[in-house]
Amino acid sequence: MADLNAITLQLKGIRKAYNIGLPAETEVLHGLDLTIERGEFVALIGPSGSGKSTLLNLIGLLDKPTAGELFITGQATSHLQDRELTLLRAKAIGFVFQFHNLLPEFTALENVMLPMLAARGRPDEAMRLRAAELIEQVGLSKVGKHMSNDLSGGQQQRVAIARALVMQPALVLADEPTGNLDTQSADNVFDLLRRVNEASDTSFLIVTHDPRLAQRCDRIIELVDGRIDSDKANRASLP
């Protein structure tokens, strides 16, 4: 616990309000404190509208909290400019969304290359090899050259996971990554996330509505009305 390097994410009094200064002003998150350590595999659950996506966007540096401080791998983020936020996001965070994760203009393999390309500016062989390695890891070697639109929903989510991992981030944020899939595909995608987590130091924060999948995480955080209602270790997940 005392090892700062072991802390992937820390939230201190995070608040988020929308429509500030307007009559419709509403606070969605009311002062959250939270720490996620290296390698943790965490489920974020809660009713619709409780603020799960809002929280994930804040953690992913896509949005700014109204108050509070957010540390990513020990670095405070509230004072950072857009350029620095982009760099930190590229280095430390991988995203998996529920839908439309991939750019349809590119193949599966190219989609996995994009974060490296954005960071380094020009494609090279090393990038291709790294992307191919990840495509293989998610079990899609056969369809790597297919346009991303030609893949099934489950395959697309696997590509998105490969892309999220390509920069070796400290934290992967997944917002209902299996919400759009049938049970079988959802299980496969979830298995993949678990396996990647076991084989690396990467922490995962996964929003899910599926209690069955939440039960397979090491820790379950429940958000209700913008507050952490419960946060407990889940022994059932242990083998």
Ligand X SMILES: Nc1ncnc2c1ncn2[C@@H]1O[C@H](COP(=O)(O)OP(=O)(O)OP(=O)(O)O)[C@@H](O)[C@H]1O
Q: What's the closest the beta carbon of residue 63 comes to other proteins, in angstroms?
A: 4
Q: Pick the closer one to other proteins by CB: 84 or 198.
A: 84
* Sole binder of Mg ion in the list 10, 50, 53, 107 (CB under 5 A): 53
Which residues bind to other proteins, rule: CB under 8 A? 53, 57, 60, 62-63, 82-83, 86-87, 89-91, 94-95, 97, 100-106, 110, 113-115, 117-119, 121-125, 128, 163-164, 167
> Which partner in other proteins, ligand X, Mg ion, none is near 190 (CB below 5 to 8 A by kind)?
none
The DSSP symbol for 48 reads T
CB atoms inside a 10 Å sphere around CB 19: 9
Residues 76-105 as b or e (16 or more Cβ within 10 Å = b):
ebeebeeeebeebbbebbbbbbbeebbeee
Q: What's the closest the beta carbon of residue 231 comes to ligand X, in angstroms?
A: 16
Q: Pick the closer one to other proteins by CB: 52 or 219.
A: 52
CB atoms inside a 10 Å sphere around CB 31: 17
Which residues bind to ligand X, rule: CB under 6 A? 18-19, 28, 46, 48-54
Spatial strand order of the sheet with 41-45 comes to 93-96, 171-175, 203-207, 41-45, 219-224, 227-233
Binding site for Mg ion (CB under 5 A): 53
